[in-house]
Amino acid sequence: MTTADDWSRGQDGFVDVRPRPGEPEFYDSAPKPSDSFLELRDLRVHFPTDDGIVKSADGLSFTLERGRTLGIVGESGSGKSVTSLAIMGLHKNTRAKITGEIWLDGEELVAAGIDQVRALRGKKMAMIFQDPLSAMHPYYTVGAQIIEAYRIHNKVSKAVARKHAIEMLDRVGIPQPASRVDDYPHQFSGGMRQRAMIAMALSCDPELLIADEPTTALDVTVQAQILDLIRDLQQEFNSAVIIITHDLGVVAELADNIMVMYAGRTAEYGPTDDIFRRPQHPYTWGLLGSMPRLDRERADRLLPILGTPPSLINVPSGCAFHPRCGYASLTGGRSTDEVPVLRSVDGEHSVACHLTAEQRLKAWETDIKPKL
Amino acid sequence: MITFIVRRLFGAVLMLLVVSMVTFAVFFLVPRIAGQTTDQLATQYVGRNPNPTEVHAMEVKLGLDQPIYVQYGRFLKNIVAGEDFDTGTGIVHCPPPCFGYSFKNQQEVWPQMLSALPVTGSLALGAAVIWLISGVGIGVLSALRRGTVFDRAAMSVALAGVSLPIFFTALLSLAIFRDSIPLFPDAGNYISITVDPGKWAEALVLPWVTLAFLYAALYARLTRAGMLETMNEDFIRTARAKGLSERKVVVKHGLRATLTPIITIFGLDLGLLVGGAVLTESAFSLPGLGRFAVNAINNQDLPEILGVTMLAGFFVVAANLIVDVLYAVVDPRVRF
Amino acid sequence: MKRKNAVAFAAVCAGLSLLTACGSGSSGSSGGSSSSGGAPSYNAGNNSVVNPSTKAGGTLNYGLSGVPDSTDPGSTYYAYMWNFSRLYARPLLTFKSAPGTDGLKLIPGLATGMGKVSSDGLTWTYTIQSGLKFEDGSAITTKDVKYAIERSTNYSPGILPNGPTYFQQYLTDPTYPGAFKDTTPDKLGLKGVDTPNDTTIVFHLQHPFADFDYLVTSPQTAPVPQAKDTGTKYQEHPISSGPYMFSSYDPNKGFTLVKNPNWTQASDPNDKQLVNTINVAFNVQAADLDSRLLNGSMDIDLDGTGVQTAARARILGNKTLQTKADDAVSGFLWYAALNTQVAPLNNVDCRKAIEYAVNKTTQQTAYGGPIAGGDIGTTVMPPTVVGYQKADQYSFIAQPNGDVAKAKSELQKCGQPNGFSVNISARGDRPKEVSAAQGIQEALAGIGVKAQIQQYPSGSNFSTYAGVPNFVHQHDLGIIMGGWAADWPDGFGFLSQISDGRAIKAAGNSNLQEENNPQLNQLLDKATQSPDASARNKIYAQIDQILMSDAVILPEVYAKSLLYRNPNTTNVFVTEAYGMYDYTQIGKSQ
């Protein structure tokens, strides 16, 4: 058995828990439970396909406490949704191969049986989806679907459940809930529909709420209302919230911490403020640069990130971002050979990048910041 | 909802009128355009070696000498109000709905069709139950076990069912299950259910299975495709995310959504079938509407052909109407 | 009878027969107790009674692949109906129920004896038995016979159109308007028939007609009670004078007969009343009917023209099944008429060329070969017709493949040494006929005659196409395929409609070759007037020879039918009068 002394310490003090060559791959007879409410440890979700293995999540780790909000940001195809589905246990009994650990309130979910996880779904953890029109069954009334969600985990009569459904609709701010409870999804406007879905997700008072692109399908004005609602409900229920989005503006509002994902891996992680004021990863710079802003001249062009998102089957070697990174050449070849490790730069704020702190600072000061 | 139904009803009646016009035109207008004289039309009703006076008398009797719109008007009036026919030996009163009088076998058309209807109805309904249950059931199972041996085997059998011509399956089943291994010695020998339910069922088992085999195959493939598509829908993911048991997800959310188009097609299929399962009835010699139609055509008995075409058209239009309304009942998005 | 088999059906059935032949053997019925005359064998029914038995009871199941033209005895023309209707409609005279040539003898039916003809040949008198009753117990009188004739096709063709019209042709008062338009108070206004009392009936003829006894075997002479005549609805329940009566009728499904309590064996020694119920099922698909015969669920094919291709193959390939089959002579002649009005066939030598050129074996094969098709025909009358005399003017038997040399020399004689063009007409829905037409086309090509086949539907073939002389001339239908059976089994019954020049009609013509030979016409008249049977028969033979030497008819086969009898049936034999099993005799052994 190895001791703490044998663990190598990364250059910036981050503890590297990966097994070194020659060492046994497990250290304890059982994984150590987590202290956090939600913790992911080295989560990998791989899908075997005819064309190869799709590595949607490839070594993700983060923690989340009750009452806090995590924003997961990345391009389409970066593996954000897959991660959230993995937490919900919706990959079980599919072809996906999941390794790593997911700890939710002391329970480990990856190794857990499907029935065990199913009992948690809707009750302990709930999810709201991007397009509420397609995410709700078109043939059943909104009320019926909320009632169904409630009655899975609560043995009550239909009448009691219906009352609860009306209460939930009221809570999410739908006017005339007693009559709207019998309406069908298509009879709601976009914003109201999303509220209804939130009502359905929260009907059992889940402690973890995952919102997968909750505002992408909505108008900008409605977006703000929905985000306000989520924040209010979080404060009321003290639930942990994960918001998944590609829109930095959304997470700026709500998230306490932000995780920037790229090609199934964490590129950068840290408190919202830090990410916005002192972004460390070139990819994050790109995201920030490509955001349209009202406080800039319209004539200024947006800074797109050149290139296209990588294929998750053939992830570029080394740092997955290196083909699109303007600074890859500065790493002296490490970008193409070595996978960068997530290292802390300042407390919770960590980044997975081969650039040195000086190189990053220089690039930030000279290239990026002036243009933002 | 009521306005929806009323609108559809109105449309159905209109459709029936159009069907009647087209049918009428085909049988009475087209031969005229093709050069047949009314004499030649009438000749088909008189016996062997007719002389011109007899032919002309028949022409008058059938009203073939009247202008076409008068004939059509008479035809419509008959259906609604009935008609009297002079058979030459007496007056036959044909109460509504009167689809005409066949001078070839000296029978009113409607009572003949009415007598054939229970046979076709028994055949169609029995087969429908079998194919719906087996077809949809196999389709669902195949979709859920996609790619497995079961799925491949089921779809291969379904392919066979769809490809084999029905009279082949019919004759084969008769040769094996009635003649070689007399499991159903009275197959095809129709007895009314009110007379002897046991024999009624025995007579119909082979026709049911033959007919159902074809349709079950279609429905299995349809259901499988529909299920595969539906199970990929977002609301299925939501249902699972709520913590619903997989069985409930499949049945209450998945199957319910898949079945809607299936039910629609089922209604139409049934409507068409009740209009006469011609091949099956002919192969098994069942005295239903299909066989009635075939005989009418072979005998070139115009009132009978007209009557059975109208009746079949009525069933299809009615089925269309029912299916439309049913769809609105099931899928609320259609209603509003 | 039309066959509704599509080619596909036939092909499938043929294929299936291979399948089932492997697993066959007599399924269902297993032989059963055979008659005292030893086990029945193949063709036993042709000249002996198979399974003779007096056992009563049981149900007889007939199947029909279509529907009858009518069950009304006054309005039917099919041989099987004339045979079958005797069970409920007894004519004045009928044929003896016996196998072989014995079955061509006339015997009394309702009548007490043969008709008595006056010296001038213009009056025929019959006496019927007294004490005869209808099914409802009312008495049968000669007035009912007269009424029956008045209401029949003879005088009411617009209402009851399907039967023959011989009475109208030969009796006086041919313009009688028919019973339904009769204005006399008792509706017995036909002057051609007198009923001086309840048991006597007198027929007045326009010209002498020696065959009159044959005419009254027609079901049109079966009595019909006027009070119960429902006109066009009568076919649903004809009031019975025979051993059985109607108990139910459905125009699409069939009918059922039960025993008639008011019939007595003593009044009717010829017929038998054995089974309790007779079922006739309509519209049984033809190949399926054969399957049911073979598996025992049906007893007899009512149509009596033989099994279809698939069953034929099964039966002939299986010795056990064959013992239950009879290859009966059906009395039909399949032939081709050579039309005298279509050039160059107006020249007798051109017609003779055709007689020599055609390959007779090919024609026989087209109709089914020697067993199922029949023997090669060399005369117009088949051997079963009374008056037949063996002859072979063009050496068909010696040269069954045709004589090309002689054909070519005939072509020279008629001035067409390089051949000519002509059209052949055939009924498109009769595959055998089309096949035969193709055989002729092929043979003619060998002598330089180009023939094109025109196909017409059988339902309207005679009313609209080949039976309309104008149409024939316009379309150059020099060769017309057809078939013919006698309306009654003597020479006149066979020859008159197809050879009398005066019988040529503008539509519905049966004299397809439009032969109008004055000598022949006179001979026909002479025959009808001659009271001596053997003299008549000599004349018929002579007419036959004239037809052949005029080369207006090309005989192909004397048709045969392969009939199948359910081994549980008793008293089964072929009656030569109708060319099928005698339906007045059959019972069931179990």
Q: Of B306, B307, B312, which is closest to residue B276 (Cα–Cα)?
A: B312
Q: Is B6 exposed, middle or buried (0-12, 13-18, 19+ CB in 10 A)?
A: exposed
Token digits for A349?
């704020």
> Hey, what's the torsion of the CAs at A332, A338, A342, A345, to 10 degrees?
-10
Specify the length of chain C in residues.
590
Residues of chain A with pLDDT under 50: 1-14
Which of B106, B110, B292 is the mutation pick for testing C, counting most C CBs within 10 A?
A: B106
Interface of A with B in 93-122 (CB under 8 A): 93, 118-122
Could you report the per-residue pLDDT of B278-325, keeping only the tens digit for each? 888 888 889 999 989 988 887 777 788 888 988 998 898 888 888 888
Whether the CB-CB separation of A268 and A281 falls below 8 Å is answered with yes
Of B234, B243, B246, the CB nearest to A135: B234
Give how far A89 is from chain B: nearest CA, Å. Answer: 9
Which DSSP category does C41 fall into?
-
- For A318, the 3-state DSSP assignment is coil
Could you report the per-residue pLDDT of B51-63, keeping only the tens digit for each? 677 677 777 777 7
| Per-residue confidence (pLDDT) for residue A372, from 0 to 100 | 67
Q: Which residues of C touch B189 (CB under 8 A)?
A: 297
Interface of A with B in 201-220 (CB under 8 A): 201
Token digits for C451?
């023939």
Q: Which residues of B touch A197 (CB under 8 A)?
A: 238
The model's pTM: 0.75
Single-letter amino acid, residue C175: T
Q: Assess A260–B contact: CB distance below 8 Å, yes or no.
A: no
Cα separation, A222 vs C352, whole angstroms = 102
Specify the length of chain A in residues.
372
Of B233, B243, B256, the CB nearest to A152: B243
Token digits for A152?
């899975």
Phi, psi of A153 (to 5 degrees): -105, -5
Per-residue HEC secondary structure of A86-146 comes to HHHCCCCCCCCEEEEEEEECCEECCCCCHHHHHHHECCCEEEECCCHHHHCCCCCCHHHHH
Cα separation, B106 vs B92, whole angstroms = 10
Alpha-helix runs per DSSP H in C152-222: 166-170, 212-215
CA atoms in the 13 A half-sphere facing the CB of B329: 10
Estimate the crossing angle of helix C533-549 against helix C491-499, to 10 degrees. Answer: 40
For tokens 């029945």, name the residue. Answer: C40
H or E segment and range at residue C490? none
Cis check for the bond before B97: say yes or no (omega within 30 of 0).
yes
Cis check for the bond before A323: say yes or no (omega within 30 of 0).
no
B48–C4 CB contact, under 8 Å = no
Whether the CB-CB separation of A172 and A199 falls below 8 Å is answered with yes
Residue B37 clears pLDDT 80, i.e. is over it = no
Whether the CB-CB separation of C217 and C106 falls below 8 Å is answered with yes
Angle at C132 between CA C126 and CA C134, to 5 degrees: 115
The strand pair at C300-301 and C450-456 is best described as unpaired
Whether the CB-CB separation of B76 and C187 falls below 8 Å is answered with no
Segment B191-211 shows an average pLDDT of 88
Rg (chain C; Cα; Å): 24
- For A242, the 3-state DSSP assignment is strand
Cα separation, C396 vs C393, whole angstroms = 8
Give how far B113 is from chain A: nearest CA, Å. Answer: 40
Cα separation, A347 vs A371, whole angstroms = 27
Whether the CB-CB separation of C547 and C8 falls below 8 Å is answered with no
| Per-residue confidence (pLDDT) for residue A99, from 0 to 100 | 92
- For C554, the 3-state DSSP assignment is strand
Token digits for A327?
């600074």
Cα of first residue to Cα of last residue in chain B, in angstroms, is 8
Whether the CB-CB separation of A132 and A196 falls below 8 Å is answered with yes
Token digits for A323?
């083909």
The strand pair at C254-259 and C477-485 is best described as unpaired
H or E segment and range at residue C375? strand C374-376
Whether the CB-CB separation of B316 and B268 falls below 8 Å is answered with yes
Contact residues for C407 (Cβ-Cβ < 8 A; gap 6+): C353, C354, C356, C357, C447
- For A8, the 3-state DSSP assignment is coil
Burial track B123-160 (b if 16+ CB lie within 10 A, e otherwise): bbebbbebbbebbbebbbbbbbeeeeeebeebbeebee
- For C417, the 3-state DSSP assignment is coil
Single-letter amino acid, residue B105: N
**CB count, 10 Å around CB of C400?**
14
For tokens 């196998």, name the residue. Answer: C99
**CB count, 10 Å around CB of C492?**
26
Residues of chain C with pLDDT under 50: 1-37
- For C376, the 3-state DSSP assignment is strand
| Per-residue confidence (pLDDT) for residue A19, from 0 to 100 | 59
Could you report the per-residue pLDDT of B122-171, keeping only the tens digit for each? 999 999 999 999 999 999 999 988 889 999 998 898 888 888 898 888 88
Of B243, B245, B332, the CB nearest to A139: B332
Single-letter amino acid, residue C99: P
Q: Which residues of C touch B90 (CB under 8 A)?
A: 230-232
Q: Phi-psi category of A42—alpha, beta or left, where left has phi over 0 and alpha has psi -120 to 50?
A: left
DSSP string, A257-274: EEEEEETTEEEEEEEHHH
The answer to whether ipTM exceeds 0.95 is no
Give how far B239 is from chain C: nearest CA, Å. Answer: 52
Cα separation, B242 vs B226, whole angstroms = 23
Whether the CB-CB separation of A169 and A180 falls below 8 Å is answered with yes
Across all residues in chain B, what is the average pLDDT?
85
- For C36, the 3-state DSSP assignment is coil
Q: Of A122, A111, A43, A113, which is closest to residue A83 (Cα–Cα)?
A: A43
Single-letter amino acid, residue A254: L
Chains C and A lie in contact, requiring 3 or more CB pairs less than 8 Å apart: no
C460–B48 CB contact, under 8 Å = no
